Structure 1
Amino acid sequence: MSQSAFDPFGEPVPAIDPSIAGGRASTWLKNAGTSVFWVLVVGIVLARAVYFEPGVFSFERAVAWAQGLFAAL
């Protein structure tokens, strides 16, 4: 006899018959979602590398901006 499972509220969870559980569709959706995620990650990183301008993110500009902000306050 198998152990009964309970949800977080203490209600018993009915056992799922493995023959009716969606195996192929969920596996396909998981693989498709994972692939889309990593394609987006690679695309964003490559776009950032291609369009990166080194002078825009300089430390001196950040300090000057912070000083201007504190002067305005």
Structure 2
Amino acid sequence: MSQSAFDPFGEPVPAVDPSIASEGVSKWLKTAGTSVFWVLVAGIVLARAVYFEPGVFSFERAVAWAQGLFAAL
């Protein structure tokens, strides 16, 4: 005999037989979501590598920007 489960409001939650639950859809959604995530990561990294300009992110520009920010405060 299984124990009764209750939701946060005290209402009983009906027991679900794991064999009846649709695990196939859940597994497919997890696989699809993971795949979309890694495709986006690879696309972003590839785009950053293709469009990277070394002179834009120089340390001297960063220091000058920080000094300008502190001067404005």
Which TM-score band applies after superposition, normalised by the shorter structure?
0.7 to 0.9
**Percent identity over the alignment?**
89
CA distance in 2, matches of 1:40, 1:20: 34
* Structure 2 gap segments, 5+ residues each: none
Match of 1:51 in 2: 51
CA distance in 2, matches of 1:38, 1:9: 39
Q: How many residues align?
A: 73
Q: CA deviation at 1:31?
A: 0.8
TM-score normalized by structure 2?
Answer: 0.76
Report the RMSD for the aligned CA atoms in angstroms: 1.9
TM-score normalized by structure 1?
Answer: 0.76
1:60-71 matches, cutoff 5 A: 60-71=60-71
Match of 2:22 in 1: 22
Match of 2:42 in 1: 42
**Superposed CA offset, 1:3-50 (max 9, x none):** 444556666543211232011111111111111111111111111111
Runs of 4+ with deviation above 4 angstroms: 3-12
